[in-house]
């Protein structure tokens, strides 16, 4: 029996929170979306999406089902459950920046009521839900977690651009108490087919870190092999394709110009930071981070080689970077290595432009304010070198051969290649 106007309130309407809103709305739940950005809430209430791969039709469908968006945190009092989906970036010193989580917990606390469920979905280090979120909620509400309200952690597994329906992705759930876990599992059972209960919030937090550390370390391995094999005249992509035919004991990972997105470049360092509490080193994680972080400079070196073969220097050259998004066929440019390549080239005196069919103009972001407002440029022969950074589908069949411009390909993506073709 419904006991509140909203079944669930979701705080943070970005690449994680908004798909979650839509999934709950499709399940028949009454959904309230909460975000500090008034432009976002107004756009959603007008039936417009600001995330390209979701689309206006999905927003309009959710609105017809009763979905509402607001900047008013007091309305969460009217929800049976509150899900926190806010960013967890790193500071410049690679320490966890939990300010978004902490501020959200403080904003929720005065409106928390007995019987509500609060779930943190933001990726973080083991212990955050109990050590950070729980005290803030209790201090601001006067209620006790596990007694007066339910508290749980369930890591997001959103993959922007992936056609896999959220309902098909198993959902890990850990609670402060078994009752908290069961309450969260019952909620998520409305939108996912398989629930994966674990013993605690910390175990659920650690699960998310393991998933992303696994990817970061393996990507670092193939990035290192890319450099070694290139020196030997061996094509790393050919090697990976051949190795991937083994039906057991191998999983293909692919090199690139560096790591991007809201998870892989960031999450491993949450564990590195937490491990210091126990005087334990995380040597493999840190080494993988060093390798992946160095990839943009490796690409810049290959660009310099391509220009040198044309008797040109980086300084004064016109360079077009293809793909600002961190992964193919989406408009998500968070932590994109293309920004690092752009910045490095500009420091060396190059005139740098970009093309991205999914990012027509650069939006303000935490790490690239100085280039906000720049617009995507057409792919023409008016450049000294073109660099394929992101393997958007639009680039696979593009006729680079007809341009006569050297191409540096970081993804082994171009099929119609010019005579002067370089892998990076």
Known catalytic residues?
A: 263
β-strand partners of 319? 352, 385
Neighbours of 301 (CB within 10 A): 13
Maximal C-alpha separation, the chain: 75
Q: What DSSP assignment string belongs to 137-184?
A: HHHHH---BTTTBEEEE------TT--S-GGGS-EEEEESSHHHHHHH
Residues 164 and 284: their CA atoms lie apart, in Å, by 31
The token pair at 93 is: 């010193």
Q: Are 158 and 19 in contact (CB under 8 A)?
A: yes
Q: Are strands 117-120 and 79-84 parallel, antiparallel or unpaired?
A: parallel
**CA-CA-CA-CA torsion for 13, 331, 319, 316, nearest 10 degrees?**
-20
DSSP one-letter code for 38:
H
- Angle at which helices 283-309 and 201-231 pack, to 10 degrees? 40
β-strand partners of 423: 409
- How many residues are given for the chain? 424
All residues at 6 or more sequence positions from 82 whose CB lies less than 8 Å from its CB, including other chains: 8, 9, 10, 11, 76, 108, 112, 116, 117, 118, 119
Place of tokens 């007694």: 147
The alpha carbon dihedral of 305, 308, 310, 316 has a sign of: positive
């Amino acid at each position: 029996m419904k006991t509140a106007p909203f079944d669930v309130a979701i705080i943070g309407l970005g690449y994680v929170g908004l798909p979650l809103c839509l999934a709950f709305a499709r399940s028949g739940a009454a959904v309230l979306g909460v975000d500090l950005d008034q432009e976002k809430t107004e756009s959603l209430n007008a039936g417009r999406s600001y995330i390209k791969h979701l689309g206006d039709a999905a927003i309009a469908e959710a609105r017809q089902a009763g979905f509402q968006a607001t900047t008013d945190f007091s309305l969460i009092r009217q929800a049976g459950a509150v899900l926190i989906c806010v960013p967890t970036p790193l500071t410049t010193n690679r320490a966890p920046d939990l300010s978004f989580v902490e501020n959200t917990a403080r904003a929720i606390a005065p409106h928390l009521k007995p019987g509500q469920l609060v779930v943190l979905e933001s990726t973080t280090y083991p212990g955050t839900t109990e050590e950070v979120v729980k005290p803030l909620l209790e201090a601001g509400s006067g209620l006790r977690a596990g007694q007066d309200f339910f508290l749980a952690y369930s890591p997001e597994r959103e993959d922007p651009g992936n056609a896999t329906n959220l309902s098909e992705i198993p959902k890990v759930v850990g609670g402060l108490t078994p009752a908290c876990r069961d309450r969260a599992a019952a909620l998520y059972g409305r939108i996912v087919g398989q629930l994966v209960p674990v013993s605690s919030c910390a175990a659920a937090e650690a699960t998310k870190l393991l998933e992303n550390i696994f990817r970061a370390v393996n990507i670092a391995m193939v990035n290192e092999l890319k450099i070694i094999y290139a020196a030997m005249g061996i094509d790393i992509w050919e090697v990976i394709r051949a190795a991937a035919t083994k039906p057991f004991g191998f999983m293909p990972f692919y090199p690139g110009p560096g790591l991007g997105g809201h998870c892989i470049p960031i999450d491993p360092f949450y564990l590195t930071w937490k491990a210091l509490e126990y005087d334990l080193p995380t040597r493999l994680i840190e080494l993988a981070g060093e390798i992946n972080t160095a990839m943009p400079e490796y690409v810049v070196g290959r660009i310099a080689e391509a220009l040198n073969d044309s008797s040109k220097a980086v300084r004064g050259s016109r360079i077009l970077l293809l793909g600002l998004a961190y992964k193919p066929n989406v408009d998500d440019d968070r932590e994109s290595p293309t920004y690092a390549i752009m910045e490095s080239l500009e420091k060396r005196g190059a005139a740098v432009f970009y093309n991205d069919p999914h990012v027509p103009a650069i939006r303000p972001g935490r790490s690239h304010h100085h280039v906000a407002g720049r617009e995507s440029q057409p792919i023409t022969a008016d450049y000294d070198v073109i660099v394929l950074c992101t393997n958007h589908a639009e680039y696979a069949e593009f006729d680079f051969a007809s341009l006569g411009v050297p191409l540096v390909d970081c993804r082994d993506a171009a099929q119609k290649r010019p005579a002067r073709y370089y892998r990076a």
